[in-house]
Structure 1
């Protein structure tokens, strides 16, 4: 249930310098993909609030779930956790059990929950619009670490799209 927002008993996570930090690690995001507005933690759960920039709102209806929103909802994973930072950026590797319930959202609330206590690299996602109505769910998103060198090497010579 993502109708109550911010989540009850959740602790805010400071994401104010996140995109500067990510750029320093070789993962520079353009304005459309810098949609993370806020994040909270409650135990092992991570909650994120994302929104497309105003000039991207008209494109939201072109997608079942706008890829920039979904990507931004994952940006806070490991943020502020020294152990996670040492492992490298956690990038989506495999998706399972993806369901779409609504389309065209320009802002989302996302709850990310580890699927098992001994596996912090596989998460279940519950995704809602800004009023808390369900948009999508993911039974399992498996993440894999990538070092700054690996991320930069993947970009090749042309890093600016």
Structure 2
């Protein structure tokens, strides 16, 4: 069996980024996604910062200015949630060379509505799963998920899906 990674440090949600977190460069991440077949429109390009903190990934995302008024129409704006989850690209799971996509959500709770900016803490819980804690920029809870199971994806699968290959 694979040894368990060391536990991530305890975090005070009022301290952001978490003490001891190491910043990760996010420049060019959307160009990298496009080269791999994942092309995102402007509303979905909101990831602004990522940090590693122990085995966790911490991230921030913000809706573009023209999208911010729409945030109140949603429990959690889908483009904002998608943007903050783009931090999956920074290797929260052991196989950091593998790309992962969200697959199955468990224990999801919405604590507040209308956020136009988010902070995310993603903690590995299994080989292919993470727990999520989502807050607003002041540290107040917005959402949480006990588990988000991820599925591996390759550029070949993305390109095949885009062409309709394998769909009958």
- TM-score of the superposed pair, with normalisation by structure 1: 0.88
1:12-23 aligned at under 5 Å gives the runs: 12-23=23-34
Task: Tell me whether 1:96 sits opposite 2:96 in the alignment.
Answer: no
What is the Cα deviation at residue 79 of structure 1? 2.4
Structure 1 position 43, deviation (Å): 1.2
Matched with 1:145 is 152
* Counterpart-to-counterpart distance in 1, 2:133 and 2:127: 16
Partner of 1:64: 75
Which residue of structure 2 aligns with residue 35 of structure 1?
A: 46
Q: Distance in 1 between matches of 2:163 and 2:44?
A: 20
In the aligned structure 1, how far is the partner of 2:131 from the partner of 2:124?
A: 6
Per the TM alignment, residue 80 of structure 1 is displaced from its structure 2 partner at its CA by 6.4
Match of 1:76 in 2: 87
The runs of at least 4 consecutive aligned structure 1 residues that moved more than 3 Å come to 80-83
Structure 1 residue 6, shift from structure 2 partner? 1.3
Is the contact between residue 99 and residue 137 of structure 1 (CA under 8 Å) also seen in structure 2?
yes
Shift of 1:38: 0.1
Please tell me whether Structure 1 or Structure 2 has the larger radius of gyration of its CA atoms.
2
| CA RMSD between the two structures | 1.7
Q: Residue 51 of structure 1: CA displacement?
A: 0.2
Q: What is aligned with 1:132?
A: 139
Q: Which of the pair has the greater relative contact order for Cα pairs under 8 Å at 6+ separation?
A: 1
CA distance in 2, matches of 1:65, 1:32: 14
Aligned length: 152
